[in-house]
Chains A and B, each alone.
Chain A
Amino acid sequence: MIGAGSDAVDIAAAVSAGRVSARAVTDAALDRIAAGNQRLNAFTAVTAERARKAAAAIDAKRARGEALGLLAGVPYAVKNLFDIAGVTTLAGAKIEAGKAPAAADAAAVRRLDAAGAVLVGALNMDEYAYGFTTENAHYGPTRNPHDVLRSAGGSSGGCGAAVAGGLVPLSVGTDTNGSIRVPASLCGIFGLKPTYGRLDRAGAMAFVDSLDHVGPFARSVRDLALCYDALQGGTTAPIEPTAPRLGDGVAGLRVAVADGYFAPAGAEEAQDAVALVARVLGATRRVELPESARARAAAFVISAAEGANLHLPDLRRRAADFDPATRDRFLAGALVPAAWLLQAQRFRRWYRAQVLEVFASTDVILAPATPCAAPRLGQETIALEGKEIALRPNLGLFTQPLSFIGLPVVVVPVQRDGALPIGVQIIAAPWCEAMALRVAAALEDAGAVSAGLAG
């Protein structure tokens, strides 16, 4: 029986076998969005007509006896910074709302459509992806399906809420400093930030070109892998399918837990989740990624400077139209001196060399994804190392150093009785997404991590 909790693999199998039509699956998804989106505010546009047309085409193809794609009839949605032909690309900004609709689909949309997936809409985000909570002043906050008074995380908050809330089984977002991994953690679902340069970013509005990545969200590891495989291609990176190797197991893999910067006092719920995953994997070794605080600081400077420069014409002409949550950060970022930016970029090379050295003796590193589970909407601070610190920038504390050097990371969700879920980062060496996904699959098989429907 195909329903809200079905994963993409099951849906595609049912559609391909003719047990259910793509049209019926699409209609059911559109109904769920109509019924559930008011509660979550995950979608900013629903592409119902396009979805029904695509579904009808898939059903017709099957009726003609043609082979269907690996994602046949699977509903999905994308962060609203991806171009969708005929829809204005908002990137969470009021400034963009007056622009012409996109003329063509983004590469990610083209690839998933080619695999038979059915696009049902665009998802809310922090303005221009500059945030970790999706408390968007123009389009409203996206709410966490586990508790609607809490944040879904950001900046791909709509992606997290739509998948965790059962509106769609798959979504595609972007991650510059943690914008896939933070919402995956807070919504209790799986997320993948691939290696920098792996997936095609064409038609996705940039935030920070030096750090932007495209990646999928899902409620099962096999869905995450399948979606990621369908997204590959169109770049100089090799196409390396991961789904066929998910069951290869973790025997012989050298797994270690990130120490020091990634294990501060006060992040106990995050540490407990890491400890549980480490136990299941039999990982007892701890490793240090040296100077990670500086790596995070450098990513912070690069993001502010590059992000602001991209929007400089609008900052000059219409700063008041920016979301108050991003405006002053962009304005300040526009003024970053060249010395700070260049030193941050040079430090990136140093840090990358240090971390690659760690990978010479380690295959996979575990680290918390967020310092805490989903915070309340409007929450300003968290306690860390005995101090009350600003919540919003620090949600990315553990994600930011890793995207800084483009490492592939899978976030796996740890569900906790009577408490909100929280994610753990499975970090692999560059281009080793398959290994991180294999570890995630082993953890899912062992029952240590899972992503059921929320709400």
Chain B
Amino acid sequence: MGTTPFDAGTYVDAAAAAIDLPIAPEHRPGVILNLERLAAMAQLVMAFPLAKETAPAPVFRA
């Protein structure tokens, strides 16, 4: 993710506080692992340039 290394642990603690989601100490390592997996997936998506005209498709209609 760019030049700044992504510290999933720090992010999990801060983001959980922001949305008032308590994370039990015994769940925290698993949450960090899964956030890292999500970050790797998201990196693939974020690295792809999209034109400004490419609107979101929250309700997809074929």
Chain A residues close to B by CB (< 8 Å): 195-197, 210, 291, 293-294, 297-298, 300-301, 304, 312, 315-316, 319-320, 327-329, 331-337, 339-340, 342-350, 352, 405-407, 430-431
In the complex, chain B residues whose CB is within 8 Å of the CB of A301:
38, 41-42, 45
CA distance A348 to B54 in the complex (A): 9
Q: Are B50 and A331 in contact (CB-based, < 8 A)?
A: no
Are B57 and A332 in contact (CB-based, < 8 A)?
no
Among B6-62, those with CB < 8 Å from A are 11-12, 15-16, 19-24, 27, 30-35, 37-38, 41-42, 44-46, 48, 50, 54-62
Q: B21 and A336: CB pair below 8 A?
A: no
Residues of B within 8 A of A337 (CB): 15
The answer to whether A352 touches B41 (Cβ under 8 A) is no
Q: A328 contacts which chain B residues (CB < 8 A)?
A: 27, 30-31, 33-34
The residue on B at minimum CB distance from A337 is: B15
> Do B54 and A331 have beta carbons less than 8 Å apart?
no
Whether the Cβ atoms of A297 and B45 lie closer than 8 Å is: yes
CA distance A195 to B59 in the complex (A): 13
CA distance in complex: A349, B20 (Å): 32
| A431 surroundings in chain B (CB, below 8 A) | 62
Determine if A347 and B19 form an interchain contact, defined as CB atoms under 8 angstroms apart.
no
Query: Do B27 and A331 have beta carbons less than 8 Å apart?
Result: yes
- The 7 nearest A-B residue pairs measured at CB: A430-B62, A328-B30, A332-B34, A345-B56, A297-B41, A340-B42, A335-B15
> Contact at A346–B57, with CB atoms within 8 Å?
yes
In the bound complex, CA of A291 to CA of B44 (Å) = 10
Q: Which A residues lie within 8 Å of B20 (CB)?
A: 316
Q: Give the shortest distance, in Å, between B24 (CB) and chain A (any CB).
A: 6
In the complex, A2 Cα to B60 Cα: how many Å?
Answer: 43
A331 engages B62 (CB within 8 Å): no
Contact A316 B22 (CB under 8 A): yes
- Is A335 a contact partner of B16 (Cβ separation < 8 A)? yes
Cβ-defined contact, A335 with B19, below 8 A: yes
Q: Smallest Cβ distance from A384 to chain B, in angstroms? A: 16
Partner of B38, one of A300, A316, A319, A320: A300
A406–B60 touching, CB < 8 Å: yes
Q: Are A196 and B45 in contact (CB under 8 A)?
A: no
Chain B residues closer than 8 Å to A405, beta-carbon distance: 60, 62
Tell me, in angstroms, the Cα distance from A304 to B34 when the chains sit together.
10
| Minimum distance in angstroms from A412 CB to a CB of chain B | 22
The chain B residue with its CB closest to the CB of A328 is B30
Chain A contacts of B24 at CB under 8 A?
319-320
The answer to whether residues A349 and B45 also contact, given A316-B21, A327-B27 and a CB cut-off of 8 A, is no
